[in-house]
Chain A
Amino acid sequence: MTRKRRRLYIVVAAMTVLGLAAGLVLMSFEDSLVFFHSPSDLVEKPVPEGRTFRLGGLVEEGSFKKSGVEITFRVTDLAESVDVQFRGLVPDLFREGQGVVAEGQMNENGIFVASNVLAKHDENYMPPEVAESLKKAGNWKPKEDKQ
């Protein structure tokens, strides 16, 4: 067993592991990237049913309804809006007029079925993606900014 031989073994092992990892990364990137879309994006370029993505915007005023543990509301960027269904407890700090990000899929009726409504950190927090999509839709009114 010479030094060179040993180095060769190590290099081969390292390449194998890295190759394996690269393969895994490429395979899983394909379907595990979750894109963020605003309601306007969805009107422009609808996302096919069954593909998971994040929907963000404001909870439309007067759209929130609750029956038992079924919640429905509309997410708007003040230009377009999308119906959302969620089964679960109302998340902390969920309010009409506030920013929200939901993860889920569109169903056949064009309703966004959320599997998760993301928790927010405080009352001033605006998810950055939401802030940006509001800006794009031309409806951004800067609020007091707090990380």
Chain B
Amino acid sequence: MIGEIGHFGLILALVVAVLQGTLPMIGASKGNVALMRFASSAALVQFLAVSISFIALTIAYVGSDFSIVNVAQNSHSLKPMLYKISGVWGNHEGSLLLWAWILALFGFAVAAFGRNLPDGLKARVLSVQGMIGIGFLLFILFTSNPFERIDPAPFDGRGLNPLLQDPGLAFHPPFLYLGYVGLSITFSFAIAALIEGKVDPAWARWVRPWTLAAWGFLTLGIALGSWWAYYELGWGGWWFWDPVENASFMPWLVSTALLHSAIVVEKRDALKNWTILLAIIAFSLSLLGTFLVRSGVLNSVHAFASDPARGVFILGFLVLVIGGSLILYAVRAPTMKGGGLFAPISREGALILNNLLLSTAAATVLLGTLYPLFLDALSGAKVSVGPPYFNATFLPLIIPLIIALAFGPFLAWKRADLKGVFSRLKLAIVSVCVIVGVSWWVTDDGPILAFVGMGLFAWLVTAVFVELADRIKLFRTSLRQSLKRFLNLPRSAYGMSIAHLGVAMVILGVTASEAWQSERLDVMQPGETVVVGGYDFQFEGAERLEGPNYGILRGSFNVKRNGSLVADLRPEQRVYESPPMETTEAAIWPMLSADLYVVIGEEDGKGGYATRIYHKPFISWIWIGAIVMFIGGGFSLSDRRFRIGAASARKKQTQKTAEAAGA
């Protein structure tokens, strides 16, 4: 029964999406206010319909209804509740349903929070959302129905892959999808603007919060994914330039660019076409990411062949969305005139450089990710493009970006004085020398790139603080005055500084952990001690235990530094029964200065156990940095100009719509 309700919800949502995708668009072009306003109610109904469907699937998972194929294949009655629920989106069909649900949720949010949007723009935006919804719902209903029945129902489910039974991964897809789908709103705004032929600072003020929100969720989603890989896969890596990771990283790079170019549109009424193009590309990459990961094409082009219906639909949908929007762009973009002039050395110029470097970086990642697919399709040769390629192409583009990032916030709009900025950044140059010197002295050794990274960290952190000090006139007026100025800064100023600090923290984490990690691989007898990274790891022994749905081999390590106990680490090896597989549970002791990371392997038959121990300096700063970036995004998002500014623009806009409606 519950399956049929869910299925019905999807069909209802599809019908509503068709109406939402067409009627308001017609209304907007004819000036029919009733049809335009229909968009909001449609968005609400669509949200409710998809919610019914999503809740139905969740109930089926929670109640272990194995008469539904999807549940039988991906759940198990003995699974802990959290993973029964996360199992809903831990598979192809369910994850698409989650996608459609978030899409409907965001459409509803635009309808609800966009009260100050002009009717025409709002109708068109929601209409484009409706069209995207049609695509997804059709795809789900015709090729990936999560509510398909199986008769007779199996006695128990096959279980969710144990690697995926993990809190980090339970929340990774929802955050990633909030990001991907958030970009659909920006995309809809871009398409609506192209149809209207009008982009102005008010438009940018509506778009930027959505971009910020999407970007923030993407940041968090990617960080969660990499954190999961780090502690769950048990080989200590956190980023592998794997196609699946790249698929989420590309939209992140482009949305970062978009975030910055939208500022130029808002403040200076320039870079409009470029911003629209970025919005289209960002969402296209999100779609590509969703489908490439979910369709299995990334493993092999032949995955398309194994399920031609899905493959053809995906290709068709991508071609329609990306091709269609680019054609619309080609036709309409030239009619939009850019505003404000500026010199190359200016805030605008710096943001253009930011955009150039970020989008080029995204392009090289795209090339590296898709190249194996092309080569396979063309010649049948199997290749993989690994970290060496990405390091060699990505780093040379990102390093100049970070250097320039320090300058950007100092530059004035229109025309800036680079010499003046240099003189204000003297302190940053000093701190670069200090940090590079200190890290040389402490580590005694390391690749050149490590010192470049440490230098970039010092450069960026100092620049952020100097800029902040500048802004509040620290030491140039009384401390009291400075404090007052600090408290009165707009939220977006905090947001920028915080987010840039987050970038610096990530740089520190990446650099230090890559360059100065120590690792030991040994067979250890109980009682034996090894020294890694200045810590003494004593292996006390291992025991066999029973977990809720797996068997455990658990090792016990005593970690001491200079004789005093630091941590007691218990790495595990687990053997699951359904589905049968083993997982490695690393024991990690995270500290700000370093992570201690211990993995235990099989017994060697002589009482010893294979062990792998890592000391990873500053690695947790990678994820702390990502969270700080997210917080920075949140500060910017709460800036009052997005509320007040939009409201004051509203009057003008309603007048215009009235005129348009009258005309």
A34 CA to B601 CA in the complex, in Å? 29
Chain A residue with Cβ nearest B302:
A128
The answer to whether A24 touches B92, judged by C-beta atoms less than 8 angstroms apart, is no
Stretch touching chain B among A43-51, A73-81, A84-92, A105-113: A84-92
A29 CA to B580 CA in the complex, in Å? 39
Write out the residue numbers on chain B whose beta carbons fall within 8 Å of the beta carbon of A147. 92, 296, 303
The answer to whether B581 touches A88, judged by C-beta atoms less than 8 angstroms apart, is no
A3 CA to B341 CA in the complex, in Å? 7
Q: B154 on the interface (CB 8 Å rule)? A: no
Chain A residue with Cβ nearest B161:
A122
The answer to whether A32 touches B388, judged by C-beta atoms less than 8 angstroms apart, is yes
The answer to whether A34 touches B523, judged by C-beta atoms less than 8 angstroms apart, is no
A27 CA to B522 CA in the complex, in Å? 38
The answer to whether B601 touches A68, judged by C-beta atoms less than 8 angstroms apart, is no
The answer to whether B584 touches A92, judged by C-beta atoms less than 8 angstroms apart, is yes
A90-B601, A145-B306, A147-B296 given; A24·B384 CB < 8 A: no
Q: A96 on the interface (CB 8 Å rule)? A: no
B396-428: contact bitstring with A at CB < 8 Å (1 yes, 0 no)? 110000000000000000000000000000000
Residue from A20, A24, A93 in contact with B392 in the complex, judged by beta carbons closer than 8 Å = A24
Write out the residue numbers on chain B whose beta carbons fall within 8 Å of the beta carbon of A42. none
The answer to whether B581 touches A54, judged by C-beta atoms less than 8 angstroms apart, is no
Residue from B343, B364, B601 in contact with A1 in the complex, judged by beta carbons closer than 8 Å = B343
CB distance from A137 to the nearest CB of B (A): 15
Residue from A28, A90, A103 in contact with B610 in the complex, judged by beta carbons closer than 8 Å = A90
Chain A residue with Cβ nearest B306:
A145
CB distance from B353 to the nearest CB of A (A): 7
Residue from A36, A103, A121 in contact with B383 in the complex, judged by beta carbons closer than 8 Å = A36
Q: B32 on the interface (CB 8 Å rule)? A: no
A66 CA to B608 CA in the complex, in Å? 12
The answer to whether A32 touches B581, judged by C-beta atoms less than 8 angstroms apart, is no
A68 CA to B528 CA in the complex, in Å? 15
CB distance from A79 to the nearest CB of B (A): 17
A135 CA to B610 CA in the complex, in Å? 36
Write out the residue numbers on chain A whose beta carbons fall within 8 Å of the beta carbon of B44. none
Residue from A2, A17, A68, A93 in contact with B581 in the complex, judged by beta carbons closer than 8 Å = A93
Count of CB-CB pairs between chains A and B under 8 Å = 127
The answer to whether B384 touches A36, judged by C-beta atoms less than 8 angstroms apart, is yes
CB distance from A101 to the nearest CB of B (A): 9
Chain A residue with Cβ nearest B346:
A1
Chain B residue with Cβ nearest A33:
B383
The answer to whether B360 touches A28, judged by C-beta atoms less than 8 angstroms apart, is no
A-side interface mostly = mixed
Write out the residue numbers on chain B whose beta carbons fall within 8 Å of the beta carbon of A123. 579-581
Q: B582 on the interface (CB 8 Å rule)? A: yes
A1 CA to B345 CA in the complex, in Å? 12
Write out the residue numbers on chain A whose beta carbons fall within 8 Å of the beta carbon of B522. 68-69
A54 CA to B384 CA in the complex, in Å? 9
Chain A residue with Cβ nearest B602:
A90
CB distance from A31 to the nearest CB of B (A): 7
The answer to whether A129 touches B300, judged by C-beta atoms less than 8 angstroms apart, is yes
Residue from A18, A25, A89, A103 in contact with B601 in the complex, judged by beta carbons closer than 8 Å = A89
Write out the residue numbers on chain A whose beta carbons fall within 8 Å of the beta carbon of B360. 17-18, 21
A34 CA to B396 CA in the complex, in Å? 21
B76-88: contact bitstring with A at CB < 8 Å (1 yes, 0 no)? 0000000000000
A128 CA to B295 CA in the complex, in Å? 14
Between A29, A35, A89, the greatest number of chain B beta carbons within 10 A of the residue's beta carbon is seen for A89
Cβ < 8 Å to B, chain A residues 130-147: 132, 145, 147
A36 CA to B389 CA in the complex, in Å? 16
A90-B610, A121-B161, A122-B581 given; A13·B364 CB < 8 A: no
Write out the residue numbers on chain B whose beta carbons fall within 8 Å of the beta carbon of A128. 299-300, 302-303
Q: B367 on the interface (CB 8 Å rule)? A: yes
Q: B323 on the interface (CB 8 Å rule)? A: no
The answer to whether A36 touches B382, judged by C-beta atoms less than 8 angstroms apart, is yes
Write out the residue numbers on chain A whose beta carbons fall within 8 Å of the beta carbon of B163. 121
A25-B393, A128-B300 given; A33·B579 CB < 8 A: no
Residue from A25, A34, A92, A145 in contact with B384 in the complex, judged by beta carbons closer than 8 Å = A34
Q: B386 on the interface (CB 8 Å rule)? A: yes
Write out the residue numbers on chain A whose beta carbons fall within 8 Å of the beta carbon of B381. 35
The answer to whether B582 touches A33, judged by C-beta atoms less than 8 angstroms apart, is no
Residue from A2, A3, A67, A89 in contact with B612 in the complex, judged by beta carbons closer than 8 Å = A89
A13-B352, A92-B582, A129-B382 given; A21·B300 CB < 8 A: no
Write out the residue numbers on chain A whose beta carbons fall within 8 Å of the beta carbon of B357. 17
Q: B308 on the interface (CB 8 Å rule)? A: no
Write out the residue numbers on chain A whose beta carbons fall within 8 Å of the beta carbon of B352. 10, 13
Chain B residue with Cβ nearest A147:
B296
Q: B5 on the interface (CB 8 Å rule)? A: no
A13-B356, A69-B610, A147-B92 given; A119·B233 CB < 8 A: yes
The answer to whether A69 touches B582, judged by C-beta atoms less than 8 angstroms apart, is no
A93 CA to B371 CA in the complex, in Å? 29
Between A31, A66, A103, the greatest number of chain B beta carbons within 10 A of the residue's beta carbon is seen for A66
A93-104: contact bitstring with B at CB < 8 Å (1 yes, 0 no)? 100000000010
Write out the residue numbers on chain B whose beta carbons fall within 8 Å of the beta carbon of A10. 352
The answer to whether A68 touches B608, judged by C-beta atoms less than 8 angstroms apart, is yes
A103 CA to B382 CA in the complex, in Å? 13
CB distance from A143 to the nearest CB of B (A): 13
Write out the residue numbers on chain B whose beta carbons fall within 8 Å of the beta carbon of A1. 341-343
Write out the residue numbers on chain B whose beta carbons fall within 8 Å of the beta carbon of A36. 382-384
A69 CA to B322 CA in the complex, in Å? 50
Residue from A3, A18, A68, A127 in contact with B338 in the complex, judged by beta carbons closer than 8 Å = A3
A132 CA to B376 CA in the complex, in Å? 12
Residue from B302, B341, B356 in contact with A6 in the complex, judged by beta carbons closer than 8 Å = B341
A10 CA to B597 CA in the complex, in Å? 48
Q: B138 on the interface (CB 8 Å rule)? A: no
A13-B356, A69-B523 given; A34·B386 CB < 8 A: yes
Q: List 30 A-B contacts (CB under 8 A).
A: A1-B343, A6-B341, A6-B344, A14-B356, A17-B357, A20-B396, A21-B360, A24-B392, A24-B397, A25-B364, A28-B389, A28-B392, A29-B371, A32-B385, A32-B392, A34-B386, A35-B381, A54-B382, A68-B522, A68-B610, A69-B522, A89-B599, A92-B582, A123-B579, A128-B299, A128-B300, A132-B302, A132-B382, A147-B92, A147-B303
What residues of chain B have their CB less than 8 Å away from a CB belonging to chain A?
A: 92, 161, 163, 233-235, 296, 299-300, 302-303, 306, 338, 341-344, 352-353, 356-357, 360-361, 363-364, 367-368, 371, 381-386, 388-389, 392-393, 396-397, 521-523, 579-584, 599, 601-602, 604, 608, 610, 612
Q: Lowest 3 CB-CB distances: which A-B pairs, in order?
A: A128-B300, A36-B382, A28-B392
What residues of chain A have their CB less than 8 Å away from a CB belonging to chain B?
A: 1-3, 6, 9-10, 13-14, 17-18, 20-21, 24-25, 27-29, 31-36, 54, 66-69, 87-90, 92-93, 103, 119, 121-124, 127-129, 132, 145, 147
